[in-house]
Amino acid sequence: MIVGKKDTPSYKNKYRNELVDTKFKDTGKKGMRDIRFVGSTDTVPDPSNPDEMQNMVNEEERLSKKYGKPTRISYLDADELSRLFEWHWYIDIRQSREDDSHLDLMVYIDAKTRIASLFPDSLNKEYTLTKIAKIQNEDVDKAYQTDNPQASMNGVMEDAKAIPNPMDKVMAHSTSLAPQ
C-alpha cells in the first residue's frame, strides 16, 4: 500500500530560438528578427501592458547594439504550430555493405592479375596503382613510386600472385565432388 502522494516528474518542452536576417515590412529596413518559440503555457509580453512592452523594446534595443543591426523579437507558440500543421515523416533507408577494404583489395588485385596474364599491355598501370592506394586509404602520391609505373606494377602483380585465389579451392573441391 502506497501512502502519500507519488512524485511524478514534470517535463517542459524546450524550444530553440532562431535569429534570421530580414526586411521589416513597416519600415522597409533590413535587420535581424529574433524568433522565439514558446509553449502554450509560457508567458510572453502582453501588448496591453505598457511595462512589459517597454521591457521588450529595451531588449530589442540591447540586441540591436549587440548585432549592429535593428533587431525585433517575435514569439511563436510551438504547441499551436504543431496543431495547425499535418506532419508527415519519411524514412529513407539506404543499404550499404560494411566497409571491407582488404576484401576489396584482394578482389581488385585478383581481377587485374587475371587481365594482366591474358592481356599484358592492356592495363593502365598508373590508374591501377591509384585505385589500389585509394582502396587502402593511402595517399595516392606517396603510396607508390609512379616514375616507373612498369616496375611498380610488376611488384604489385608479383605480390598479387602470392595471394591465394579462393576460387581455386572452390573449383578443386567441386571437381572432387563431381560424379565419375
Residue 30 pLDDT > 80: yes
Q: Which domain holds residue 42?
A: 17-84
β-bridge pairing 17-23 and 30-38: antiparallel
SS3 per-residue string spanning 134-164: HHCCCCHHHHCCCCCHHHHHHHHHHHHHHCC
Residue 156 lies in a domain: yes
* Same domain membership, residue 71 and residue 114: no
- Of residues 35 and 86, the one with the higher pLDDT is 35
On whether both 79 and 128 belong to a single domain, the answer is no
pLDDT for residue 1: 45
The residue count for the chain: 180
Q: Residue 73: what pLDDT?
A: 92
- Residue 112 near residue 128 (C-beta atoms within 8 A): yes
For residue 58, pLDDT over 90 is answered with: yes
Question: What's the grid cell of residue 68?
Answer: 549592429
Cβ–Cβ contacts within 10 Å for residue 35, how many?
A: 16
Other Cβ atoms within 10 Å of 116 Cβ, number: 21
Paired strand residues for 34: 19, 73
In this prediction, residue 2 has a pLDDT band, given cuts at 50, 70 and 90, of low
> How many degrees, rounded to 5, is the angle at CA 174 between CA 172 and CA 180?
100
Q: How many domains does the chain have?
A: 2
Confirm whether 5 is domain-assigned: no
- For the segment 3-20, the average pLDDT, to the nearest whole number, is 69
pLDDT at 13 over 80: no
Taking 80 as the threshold, does the pLDDT of residue 113 lie above it?
yes
pLDDT tens-place string over residues 126-147: 888 888 888 877 887 777 765 5
157 closest CA partner among 167, 166, 168, 144: 144
146 in a structural domain: yes
Q: What is the mean pLDDT of the chain?
A: 77
Instruction: Decide which of 93 and 157 is more confident.
Output: 93
38 near 12, Cβ under 8 Å? no
pLDDT over 70 (residue 148): no
pTM of the model: 0.42
Asked if residues 176 and 168 have their Cβ atoms less than 8 Å apart, the reply is no
How far apart are alpha carbons 36 and 19 in whole angstroms?
9
The pLDDT assigned to 42 comes to 79
Does 80 share its domain with 107?
A: no
